[in-house]
Amino acid sequence: MPEIKVTPLGAGQDVGRSCILVSIAGKNVMLDCGMHMGYNDDRRFPDFSYITQNGRLTDFLDCVIISHFHLDHCGALPYFSEMVGYDGPIYMTHPTKAICPILLEDYRKITVDKKGETNFFTSQMIKDCMKKVVAVHLHQTVQVDEELEIKAYYAGHVLGAAMFQIKVGCESVVYTGDYNMTPDRHLGAAWLDKCRPDLLITESTYATTIRDSKRCRERDFLKKVHETVERGGKVLIPVFALGRAQELCILLETFWERMNLKAPIYFSTGLTEKANHYYKLFITWTNQKIRKTFVQRNMFEFKHIKAFDRAFADNPGPMVVFATPGMLHAGQSLQIFRKWAGNEKNMVIMPGYCVQGTVGHKILSGQRKLEMEGRQILEVKMQVEYMSFSAHADAKGIMQLIRQAEPRNVLLVHGEAKKMEFLKQKIEQEFHVSCFMPANGETTTILTNPCIPVDISLGLLKRETATGAAPEAKRPRLMHGSLLMKDNSFRLVSPEQALKELGLAEHQLRFTCRVHIQDPRKEHETVLRVYNHLKGVLKDYSVQHLPDGSITVESILIQATAHSEDQATKVLLVSWTYQDEELGSFLTSLLKKGLPQSPP
């Protein structure tokens, strides 16, 4: 029986270095190629030696698909394609293709220039890697080869984030990447059609969370920022350059405008301005409202938000600073955090998920004394707030997506094992489908049961649909045809056509039965009685009395003659072909029982 195999190399019962291998109908596809932010050693990249120990990856993979530009989904790509070696196609959406190399370069700089690592991918490798990328449109069906096709759906997680359908014949898998089921201030909601995949591979970051309404969270966020600023404190919001950052900027920008606030808002430079440019140029990927109004007012041109300079961090007085990266694991956000952490008037707001091992994760789990590089101890006195602004679907959203797509199986990735367990049960209960949650390196096999497509001759099909016109007819109509198999072609044709094509003649098998009945009347009167009797019993059949004195029921012929010796006995000759076997047999036994006594 055909099967689909799935092996996560990353993101199996974990968040980080998303990388999932899928084998479907003889095709091998790699979904995402991410890095892990919690590790600085070999574990930061997926273990590609699982695919092949020696030899080019190109020979083992038909294509690679990147769902969005976050580094835990694309961070290992140059390593994978240039250092391990892969020359096949890499698919991603246009915005992802545009933004991905910039984040990769940024990641490379931090790792190589700041941390001094060698044996890391180079700028040139990023460029060479991006040359292998094929950009796809939403809903475009991309024919990877003759059999394998992929199609992108809107995922709403960040600009350009997409879910992908992978299809071979009538078997299919949908991979969600990261997605968001509720539209936010800058992006729309994820959407899938009822594509009924054999398998849905979904992220499950918020497998157990059901979040309150976005409005409440936004109000809460604004209140906290406002209060801190009012009492002269500084607010640090660690973000990734693209995504939440823009959403929160829009939020603060409109709030500042409305409240006429004066405290400065800064955005750490470099990426940001560029980032906003991307949003302006790819405005078709944002939500409906922004798209509709962009000619009058481009939401990504901010009046109150200025570029940040390192020196500003020491300025007195209140301010709000957006700084990268989002999990406080390196870079500018960490520098500012170290400066401001000691003052209880200040506040750090973590607007998204933090991977284990990062400073962000430590302070969120309540740690107030942090060991920094060089054995320094940093005491955190500033207020620490967590607000879930990350654009992942919550439990409700995941269930909603499953309802939309109607998959036959579900597989969970990109989440914590414990939470997955809970969601898995819920999914199996509510949808009665199997749900899997393999760990990294563990293979899940799903049996599929694909239909077999064959060609049917239009003549046969039309004959069938014409005769079986009433769809809810109580009697299911049996269709009869011959399936001709020649080489690899399967054709269903009418038996007549099959005979003709094979150059064979039909062999007619006919039966004639003599039925004796007692009836003293004249022959034609007997015939009339038989006719009336049959007409009464066989209401759904065509019963005819022909001028030559014979009766037909469908194609069965009945003739009556008087018995040569006994005039009161009539002999009925019932004659039918093998094709009318049931009816013929039924008629003879019916007539043998004799005719009803009193004619109706």
**Near other proteins in 250-279, by CB under 8 A:** 274, 277-278
Cβ count within 10 A of residue 14: 21
**Cross-strand partners of 175:** 164, 201
In the complex, minimum distance from the CB of residue 529 to other proteins, in angstroms, rounded to a whole number:
15
Scan residues 191-250 and list those touching other proteins (CB under 8 A): none
Q: Which helix (H) or strand (E) holds 383?
A: strand 383-386
Scan residues 30-59 and list those touching other proteins (CB under 8 A): none
Which CB atom, from 418 or from 477, has the smaller least distance to other proteins?
477
In the complex, minimum distance from the CB of residue 506 to other proteins, in angstroms, rounded to a whole number:
5
Which CB atom, from 376 or from 489, has the smaller least distance to other proteins?
489
In the complex, minimum distance from the CB of residue 480 to other proteins, in angstroms, rounded to a whole number:
4
Which CB atom, from 100 or from 229, has the smaller least distance to other proteins?
100
x/- site string to other proteins, residues 167 to 186, per CB under 8 A? ---x----------------
Q: Which of 194, 213, 295, 598 binds other proteins (CB under 8 A)?
A: 295
Scan residues 319-358 and list those touching other proteins (CB under 8 A): none
Return d(Cα 152, Cα 138) in angstroms, integer.
Answer: 5
Scan residues 436-495 and list those touching other proteins (CB under 8 A): 449-458, 461, 464-465, 468, 471, 475-487, 491-492, 495
Return d(Cα 544, Cα 519) in angstroms, integer.
Answer: 21
In the complex, minimum distance from the CB of residue 196 to other proteins, in angstroms, rounded to a whole number:
13
Q: Which helix (H) or strand (E) holds 293?
A: helix 288-293
x/- site string to other proteins, residues 121 to 160, per CB under 8 A? --------------x-xxxxxx------------------
How many residues line the site for other proteins (CB under 8 A)? 87
Q: Which of 387, 397, 383 is nearest to 344 (CA)?
A: 383
In the complex, minimum distance from the CB of residue 537 to other proteins, in angstroms, rounded to a whole number:
5
Please provide residue 590's backbone torsions phi and psi, each rounded to the nearest 5 degrees: -65, -45
Scan residues 77-106 and list those touching other proteins (CB under 8 A): 94, 97-98
- State the virtual CA torsion across 164, 168, 172, 178 in degrees, nearest 10: -20
Which CB atom, from 377 or from 458, has the smaller least distance to other proteins?
458
Which CB atom, from 295 or from 377, has the smaller least distance to other proteins?
295
Please provide residue 457's backbone torsions phi and psi, each rounded to the nearest 5 degrees: -70, 135
Which CB atom, from 133 or from 235, has the smaller least distance to other proteins?
133
Tokens, residue 27: 């095709």
Return d(Cα 126, Cα 154) in angstroms, integer.
Answer: 26
Residues sharing a CB contact under 8 Å with residue 131, sequence separation 6 or more, in sequence order: none
Scan residues 493-552 and list those touching other proteins (CB under 8 A): 495-496, 498-499, 502, 504-516, 537-541
Residues sharing a CB contact under 8 Å with residue 78, sequence separation 6 or more, in sequence order: 104, 108, 121, 125, 126, 128, 129
In the complex, minimum distance from the CB of residue 34 to other proteins, in angstroms, rounded to a whole number:
21
Handedness of CA 395, 397, 401, 403 (dihedral sign): positive
In the complex, minimum distance from the CB of residue 580 to other proteins, in angstroms, rounded to a whole number:
8
Please provide residue 276's backbone torsions phi and psi, each rounded to the nearest 5 degrees: -60, -30
> Which range, of 17-25, 258-266, 362-370, 580-588, touches other proteins by CB under 8 A?
580-588
- Omega prior to 438 cis, within 30 of 0: no
Check if 203 is active-site.
yes
In the complex, minimum distance from the CB of residue 1 to other proteins, in angstroms, rounded to a whole number:
9
Tokens, residue 440: 């990294």
Which CB atom, from 118 or from 489, has the smaller least distance to other proteins?
489
From 82, 203, 247, 253, active-site residue: 203
Q: Which of 282, 312, 386, 431 binds other proteins (CB under 8 A)?
A: 282
The answer to whether 408 and 384 are in contact (CB under 8 A) is no
Which CB atom, from 356 or from 457, has the smaller least distance to other proteins?
457
Return d(Cα 306, Cα 439) in angstroms, integer.
Answer: 44
Which residue intervals of 27-177 are DSSP H helices? 71-74, 77-78, 94-108, 123-131
The answer to whether 446 and 3 are in contact (CB under 8 A) is yes
Residues that are catalytic: 203
